Amino acid sequence: MGQVMEITAAVLARSGDNPQPYARHAPLELRALRLDPPRPGELLVRIDAAGLCHSDLSVVNGDRPRPMPMAIGHEATGIVEALGSPDDGGFAIGDRVILAFLPSCGECVRCRAGEPYMCAPGAAANGAGRMLRGGYRLHDACGDVHHHLGVSAFATHAVVDRRSAVKVAADIPPHIAALFGCAVLTGAGAVMNSANLRPGETVAIFGLGGVGLSALLAARAAGAATIVAIDPSAEKRRIAQGLDAHAVAPEDAAGQFPTLFPDGGPDVVIETVGKAAVLAQAFALARRGGRIVTVGLPNPAERFDIAALALVSEGKSLIGSYMGSAVPSRDIPRYIALWRAGRLPVECLLTSISPLHEINGLLDNLANGNAIRQIVVP
């Protein structure tokens, strides 16, 4: 067994009641924590790049209540530095890994059915802020520190379940590799797995953050005939237009859809915003028989209302997509292959690369809609 080590991590003391500007109020504090060595079935990973995602912001602002204190961050890549046991899933010291944010047990009904993204023990562990194999590996002077989605990536090191890690080639730049752990896995998966987009179909995407822009890239790679991107940010719409998509402001969508989609609406609508009102608009604008895929995570208090008759009389399908309905060990290599072939240019997601100590200011950029994916380097 290895030794307890001291690491630096960004710790959130309370969820919600964190006013902006975050740069001034600093809800995330860089702390020295004790990190236990990995147990059998776990890996010690030195983090070398982590992406700031809206799911992180949702913990800070209280939209996603989590137990506190918590070391947050969940989209990351790093190098394996220690194994909990010698035969942990074919990993070796020195491997580059991309981390997925749901540790799957491999034994429950959903895992055995090939749906690890629906793993109940993994979801329970994530909700409780503990590790899949029980307990906590992070501690401070006051006791245990909760884990964020089994990763806690805004840190110098992390102990993760081996099923949260996907080994990839060493030549992928860290700031690119990190993007595949959440933004690409979720957005591309929503298009390719959940919606099962077919060549020649039409697509509308609500929201152009990291997940929405990844969905746009995947729709283009999958051969969509028409892609329309909806976002209030003029800069994000400009990026979408550079990727061969039509781009409209949310208030203009209903008026422009009849021209952009003359057959009555898009075949597939991807909603990434995480607001019930946006999901209602997405559902209304899909064509008869259309498929509406939602990946956004709204505040638990929000409710979504539709006319129940529409599901039958209009033949629409409403599909929830968690983690892009992904099998990370299958899908991350597939998306990397598309990136290498130039068909999934994920570089366009990258807004900035910054040191970890700037994390609170980066939260402001994300909250204000001024960033797609900001990478932090410990």
Per-residue pLDDT band for 2 (boundaries 50, 70, 90) equals confident
Average pLDDT over residues 89-111: 95
Mean pLDDT of 156-178: 97
Q: Is the pLDDT of residue 79 over 70?
A: yes
- What whole-number percentage of the chain has pLDDT above 70? 99
Per-residue pLDDT of 346-369, as tens digits, reads 999 999 999 999 999 999 999 999
Residue 47 has a pLDDT of: 98
Set out the domains of the chain in order of their start, with CATH numbers: 5-181+345-377 (3.90.180.10), 185-323 (3.40.50.720)
Task: Output the pLDDT for position 1.
Answer: 57
What pLDDT does 72 receive?
98
**Mean pLDDT to the nearest integer, 181-205:** 98
| pLDDT value, residue 89 | 72
Q: Assign 52 a pLDDT band (cuts: 50, 70, 90).
A: very high
Contact 47, 373 (CB under 8 A): no
Stretch 159-163: mean pLDDT, rounded? 96
Angstrom distance (rounded) from CA 81 to CA 92: 8
Average pLDDT on 231-242 reads: 97
pLDDT, mean of residues 169-198: 98
Evaluate if residue 101 carries a pLDDT over 60: yes
User: pLDDT tens digit string along 239-286?
Assistant: 999 999 999 999 999 999 999 999 999 999 999 999 999 999 999 999
pLDDT of residue 237: 97
Whether 308 has a pLDDT exceeding 90, the answer reads no
Query: What is the model's pLDDT at position 310?
Result: 86
Mean pLDDT of the chain, nearest integer: 96
Assess whether pLDDT exceeds 80 at residue 87: no
Distance, CA of 316 to CA of 325 (rounded, Å) = 19
Asked if residues 49 and 162 have their Cβ atoms less than 8 Å apart, the reply is no
**pTM for this structure?**
0.96
Report the relative pairing of strands 138-140 and 317-320 from DSSP bridges. unpaired
How far apart, in whole angstroms, are the C-alpha atoms of residue 202 and residue 199?
Answer: 9
Q: Which residue has the tokens 């598309």?
A: 338
How would residue 99 be classed by pLDDT, with cut points 50, 70 and 90?
Answer: very high
